[in-house]
A and B are shown apart, each in its own frame.
Chain A
């Protein structure tokens, strides 16, 4: 049971480039989400999904797209990277109900946009 995995661990992009951050979980969790963590701040929600085919925006969705074609995978796409998107990105997943809503996090992806 690998839990939540993220790739890559570190990425450098130039302004305007696109890329996809990968996230996968093997716990059959309905809920998956993407957060970003900036220095001196807690995590902020970018996008989330409550099941395959269902996604919605979080607190800071601009500049990011997501899709959820399977229960296991929840990729985050940056269409045109900007320096303001330099951050550490965390993927998290959880069950939705039954008192088991604790979110489990991947190891993070550190993104630097030049």
Chain B
């Protein structure tokens, strides 16, 4: 069975600086999707970025980028120029191609932005 691990329960960063959130996963599949979702205090689950495993190029969305290392089964999220509005829980999620479209979730990382 696939698993997703986020080893950092909490991270803090100074406003305007860069922070990297870690995620590792375990799978025997060769093709899959990986996602980072943000959950602010409102509890709304918001997609931050997605990566298709067959693409070697790392996904980027404005200040958010990933470092996808397929062989190492690692999928970290880098947030540049951190802003107060980035404070939230961040969840890493995996979706295989053979699954019931289920997203497998990590336990989350709480990101604190220091002004």
- Tell me if chain B binds chain A: yes
Whether A50 lies near B45 (C-beta < 8 A) is no
Whether B107 lies near A90 (C-beta < 8 A) is no
Chain A residues 28-71 with CB under 8 Å of chain B are 31, 33, 35, 40-45, 48, 50, 56, 58-59
Whether B102 lies near A101 (C-beta < 8 A) is no
Whether A42 lies near B43 (C-beta < 8 A) is no
Whether A107 lies near B100 (C-beta < 8 A) is no
Whether B105 lies near A56 (C-beta < 8 A) is no
Q: Provided the pairs A90-B45, A101-B95 are in contact, do residues A96 and B101 lie with their beta carbons within 8 angstroms?
A: yes
Question: A43 — which chain B residues lie within 8 A by C-beta?
Answer: 45, 91, 103, 105
Distance of A21 from chain B, by nearest CB (Å): 15
B56 located at the interface, meaning its Cβ lies under 8 Å from any Cβ of chain A in the complex = no
A80 located at the interface, meaning its Cβ lies under 8 Å from any Cβ of chain B in the complex = no
Distance of A18 from chain B, by nearest CB (Å): 24
Separation of A92 and B37 alpha carbons in the complex (Å): 13
> Which residue from chain A places its CB closest to the CB of B45 in the assembled complex?
A105
Separation of A31 and B103 alpha carbons in the complex (Å): 12
B11 located at the interface, meaning its Cβ lies under 8 Å from any Cβ of chain A in the complex = no
Chain A residues 90-114 with CB under 8 Å of chain B are 90, 92, 94, 96, 99, 101-105, 107-108, 110
Separation of A56 and B101 alpha carbons in the complex (Å): 11
A contact patch SS: strand
Question: A41 — which chain B residues lie within 8 A by C-beta?
Answer: 105, 107
Separation of A109 and B108 alpha carbons in the complex (Å): 19
A88 located at the interface, meaning its Cβ lies under 8 Å from any Cβ of chain B in the complex = yes
> Which residue from chain A places its CB closest to the CB of B101 in the assembled complex?
A31
Question: A40 — which chain B residues lie within 8 A by C-beta?
Answer: 107
Q: List 20 A-B contacts (CB under 8 A).
A: A31-B101, A33-B102, A40-B107, A42-B105, A42-B106, A42-B108, A43-B45, A43-B91, A43-B105, A45-B102, A48-B101, A56-B100, A59-B102, A88-B43, A99-B52, A101-B95, A107-B44, A108-B43, A108-B44, A110-B43
Question: B91 — which chain A residues lie within 8 A by C-beta?
Answer: 42-43
Question: A48 — which chain B residues lie within 8 A by C-beta?
Answer: 100-102
